[in-house]
Amino acid sequence: MRRFCSVLLCIALVFGMAGCRKTQDPEPTNSKKFVIGFSQVGSESDWRIANTKSMTETFSYDPDYEFIMENARQKQENQFASVRRFILDGVDMIIIAPTIEEGWQTVLQEVHDAGIPVIIMDRSVAVWDDNLFLTNIGSNFLGQGQKAAAWLAEQTEGEDQVNILHLQGTRGATAQIMRTKALDDAVAEHSNWIAAEPLYGDFTEAKAYEVVTEYLKENRDIDVLYSENDNMTFGAMHAFDEAGITYGKGGQVKIITFDATKEALQYCMDGKIDLCVECNPLFGPQVKELIEKYRNGGQIPKQVSVEEKIFTSKDLDQAFIDAREY
Ligand code: AHR
């Protein structure tokens, strides 16, 4: 029996040592890339395409990073599936541009339990435990809406009645919630502002064209279009053109649009759009800076905003528009 035990002990030692040797092998330095899994909302707008380009160009050409992007096609359940795949793949970090705010608690808890840091980008998530993500980098959507409302208040001062057509983006997305809140708050403060029931454009040109075309069959008394992104604005402009409704400088409808893409700025300079509220999508480099800081053990702020302006035609010239990156 003693002899049998010592044989077992020897076998255990041999395998044990072999195991030890394996884990003590030095990791080859500089060969391991930092792997990022990125769940992007979709490709619903020019803004989104510029945002994807900024992220891809920032990380894909850097040899220190491996960047895996999955397009959720504007469906939150697709995002959940991507995030769970990233956990199984054992990525080093997950970046999420959330479609809508609600519903993230469970999946973010799973990422947290797997020990993977998360950055929330562009929009926000509504979770009760904000330790579930490192930081939230994006726009001040409420501030954007408030700038638009302040501009409109100036433009319509003294008018008896201002009829506002409101085109809403994806319901439940921070960009929609906050831009809508800014308008609702301003309507409550201005007794002469009358806002019709919002039309749902889902941040896309095609949907906006469809709903505005339908709306114009019964209602033509519109003084202002408050459109929560440029692509919906383009759809609405198309519908106005077909219905013979004029807009922009000297036209019936004043147009307020969000994003300030190159195309919208061109329309603004040409007098077709009255106000462009900027929403900057180019934050790939800023996200990278945050990641590098985090990897070097630095403290990163919980909320990071990007700089944004508003534009009317007098703020624009062709050289500025031509140089615009998105
Ligand atoms: O979350 C940012 C918003 O989403 C942009 O305004 C819009 O164009 C995009 O689709």
Ligand 1 pocket test, pick from 74, 101, 122 with the greatest ligand atom count within 8 Å of Cβ, gives 122
Pair 153, 106 in one domain: no
Evaluate: CB of 229 within 6 angstroms of ligand 1: yes
Evaluate: CB of 233 within 6 angstroms of ligand 1: no
- Whether 5 is covered by a domain: the verdict is no
The model scores a pTM over 0.75: yes
Pair 248, 150 in one domain: yes
- Whether 10 is covered by a domain: the verdict is no
Pair 249, 153 in one domain: yes
Pair 96, 132 in one domain: yes
CATH of the domain at 256: 3.40.50.2300
Pair 87, 61 in one domain: yes
- Whether 288 is covered by a domain: the verdict is yes
Q: Quote the ligand 1 centre to 326 CA distance (angstroms).
A: 13
Evaluate: CB of 203 within 6 angstroms of ligand 1: yes
Pair 125, 160 in one domain: no
Pair 122, 261 in one domain: no
C-alpha distances in Å from residue 162, one per residue of 6, 25, 48, 273, 275: 93, 73, 32, 17, 16
Pair 179, 59 in one domain: no
Pair 55, 168 in one domain: no
Evaluate: CB of 279 within 6 angstroms of ligand 1: yes
- Whether 300 is covered by a domain: the verdict is no
Q: Quote the ligand 1 centre to 76 CA distance (angstroms).
A: 15
Pair 273, 163 in one domain: yes
* Nearest CA, atom 2, ligand 1: 175
Range of the domain at 72: 34-138+281-295
- Whether 16 is covered by a domain: the verdict is no
Pair 226, 84 in one domain: no
User: What b/e readout covers 41-66, taking b as 16+ CB neighbours within 10 angstroms?
Assistant: bbebbbbbebbbebbeebbeeeeebb
pLDDT tens track, the chain, 326 positions: 444 444 444 344 333 333 333 334 444 445 699 999 999 999 999 999 999 999 999 999 999 999 999 999 999 999 999 999 999 999 999 999 999 999 999 999 999 999 999 999 999 999 999 999 999 999 999 999 999 999 999 999 999 999 999 999 999 999 999 999 999 999 999 999 999 999 999 999 999 999 999 999 999 999 999 999 999 999 999 999 999 999 999 999 999 999 999 999 999 999 999 999 999 999 999 999 999 999 999 999 999 998 899 999 999 999 999 999 99
Ligand 1 pocket test, pick from 259, 278, 305 with the greatest ligand atom count within 8 Å of Cβ, gives 259
Atom of ligand 1 nearest to the CA of 279: 6
The total number of structural domains that make up the chain: 2
- Whether 24 is covered by a domain: the verdict is no
- Whether 20 is covered by a domain: the verdict is no
Pair 209, 249 in one domain: yes
Atom of ligand 1 nearest to the CA of 230: 8
Evaluate: CB of 259 within 6 angstroms of ligand 1: yes
Whether residue 127 contacts residue 104, with contact meaning beta carbons closer than 8 Å, is answered with yes
- Whether 84 is covered by a domain: the verdict is yes
Burial class (CB in 10 A: 0-12, 13-18, 19+), 254: buried
Q: Quote the ligand 1 centre to 91 CA distance (angstroms).
A: 27
